Structure 1
Amino acid sequence: MMDSIRIGLIGWGTVGCGMLQTLRENAKEIQARVGVRMDVVRVADLDLDSPRPVSVDPHLLTRSAQDILDDPSIHIVVELIGGLEPARSFIMKALEKGKHVVTANKALLAHHGNEIFAQAAKCGRSVGFEASVAGGIPLLKAIREGLSANRLDTLFGILNGTANYILTRMTEDGLPFAQALAEAQRHGYAEADPSLDVDGIDTAHKLAIASAMSFGTSIRLDKVYVEGIRDIDLLDVQFASEFGYRLKLLAIARNTNGLVELRVHPTLIPERHVLASVRGAYNAVHIHGNAVGNIMLYGLGAGMLPTGSAVVADLVDLARDMTLGIVHRVPPLGFLPEYSSEMPVKPMDDVVTRYYFRFSAVDRPGVLSKISGVLGANQISIAAVIQKGREVEGAVPIVMLTHEAVEKDVRRSLEAIDRLDIVRGPTKLLRIEDRTDNAVASA
């Protein structure tokens, strides 16, 4: 039996420091769980001079990832540099050289995960990627193993802490989007270029991975419908509150009779739903299984130590298998590849849900009836209306909530309404998820 697991780390950044600190502080507990030491024997990064919160013995440092890939004594390569290349090439080479891999790279897995997992199977090696989705929350392990007795039909939740922090500040403190974003950047919750977070792309990467694992398909990023929060107006946050809703950037995956919905967009959810109370940079995910019913996982979705903890959890899993001579005890996405199926994905035009509209209309008699007439002609039924007398940029806001409607009917209606001479600007559309209300309601 081996007396230590030798690890090579590529990427000595925030998450790399979290991994190193966790391994050091919890070394005794980790060895007690695994039975062998976990030794980081090489650390590669192009920048070895910037100060870090966690130091590394200078003798272990290198600027060349190849030094790790070419070292036959290293058992596991941890890739934490992010991006598509050279991360993909490093992982493929590590597998070819007989090394197991751990990564936190959700963008890479969303784009190339199917290829990477096939390569791992070919090489008889494993890939751990718990840290790629929801940071310190053990979401993927829960889906792949803890819920393996279930047929999962629903997964939805908050998977991006940056967007949730911004929406929390807009809701609770009345900050406009630009100010809330600037604050998130000052606190380190948002990057200088926040596009991946605020445009919903980061959430889409995570949903592509989690939904494949939930429904037994390959990863299909190109099938995920994506809208971000960049265009959210404070006025809509305030109107949503008047109707008893909170606005969240939700990742939504549903399997209804073999037809899958995959979408990411700003969503109104009832104030009494537990997801509505998820504040700041926290993540939360609701899952429904046919045997277990409804569950929700909650915690920090990013950060040095939470994400570092998830990386180390993968190392522990790999070490346990290695000490027993086991490979691929659990398939990467939970389902054996020969049993995987490509369920059809429902086009966004065919999605049925409820809607929030805000029209900017002139203040004259008959406006409401004209708008209602167009909606009715397209099979859209109105559930509630708020009409404010105050002018906003030369127009009066009219806010409507609908009953369930088909997306393509909604789009056709709004195109017609926006052409009316009584409307002053494009209509604001947000989707409502009341089906979350009968899932997990707060007491």
Structure 2
Amino acid sequence: MTGWKTILPYNHAKTGFPLTGKHRSANCMGCHSGQRWQGLSQQCIGCHARDDVHKGSRGTNCSTCHNPADWKSASFNHNRDTSFPLLGQHAGTACAGCHGANNAIRKPQKTCITCHAKDDAHKGERGTACANCHTPRNWKDVKFDHTKETRFPLLGAHAAASCASCHGADRSIKKPPMTCIGCHQKDDSHKGRNGTDCEKCHNNKDWKNTEFDHDKMTNFPLQGAHKVALCEACHKQPTEVELPPVACVGCHADDDAHSKRLGDKCDSCHNAVAWKDKVLFDHDLTRFPLTGKHAPLTCEKCHADKSFQSKGITCQSCHIDEHHAGSLGAAPACAKCHNVNNWKLWSFNHDTETGFALTGKHKGLICSACHKKGKEPKNESSECGDCHQRDDVHDGNFGTNCARCHTTDNFTEIIM
């Protein structure tokens, strides 16, 4: 009543629309134009449609992002209120970066390729699931786990290799070969002679660090001089084409001084340390054991031509009979008298070995006194007259059995 134009304090909250923020200082006619006091919309869009830069593309619930304190201060929580959390560089990207100018794109696609097709250095060859490798933090920050995502774990030096080293500079090789030789053929110093299973010897830590154990992984342990031999010295062809022979003669036929006359069991005498070093052969296992003065003789003493073929096992095979000069036969059985300890230590017992015991004056005679050159001893006569014909004063009138009257002690002694 004091004045018509003086407005009494009015509790606008009783209307169901409390005045907060900039609404508190707004003029009544700002909302109630034309003195319209009832039926007004309580939605933001009812008054702020002309302020909607989204042009209705975000709906009419402006309070989801905006607040009465300041129209331009948006409080929309993209992580909470959508199914696409803004992570990494997405968090600092302007809305228009995905939603376009004036937010024309209400619901952008959620796949990486939709926005980043122009950034795809693979040109679509790796598919559209960019998130398998890349992260929102940095497009070049790759998180692809080659070990889990492929059948080729990156181990050793492979872990530090660049993608381009296997997939090509332009990523043109989608599925590189998984065999060593597929990428490292130019590194094969064996030139294919040892096959293509490089991992049998080499490892992915260092190409030159080999781990192949020839002793355990093959049936031919490397011993002696074989240990330092080059692989290609034996492996002339790839292992899958041809395996080297395991017999000595397979590689050392040209070194056989015996010209194959002793067979191919080289390891019976030779060893892997050195071909000529410590040759072992047990001559006692042959038909001619080396005893006495034969034992210290060198092989060449009897086997001059290295054929090591037997010349014979009789004494006369090596020893010419210079003493008897053939008086004991063309092929005398030397061993009946002589032995290997000393040629002069002979011990023939004429009494037991023959049918003619040496008694009397016969005991002191030399062999050649009775055994004439060129006549076999077994053919010698035991009759007295055959040797003493010139001593027979009877001129053969009493026969040739002189022993009936005479003795071997003295020819003049008569026992008749």
TM-score range, shorter chain: under 0.3
User: Normalising by structure 1, what TM-score?
Assistant: 0.16
In terms of fraction of residues, the more strand-rich structure is 1
In terms of fraction of residues, the more helix-rich structure is 1
Higher relative contact order (CA 8 A, sep 6+): 1
Q: Give the number of the structure whose alpha-carbon radius of gyration is greater.
A: 2
User: Normalising by structure 2, what TM-score?
Assistant: 0.17
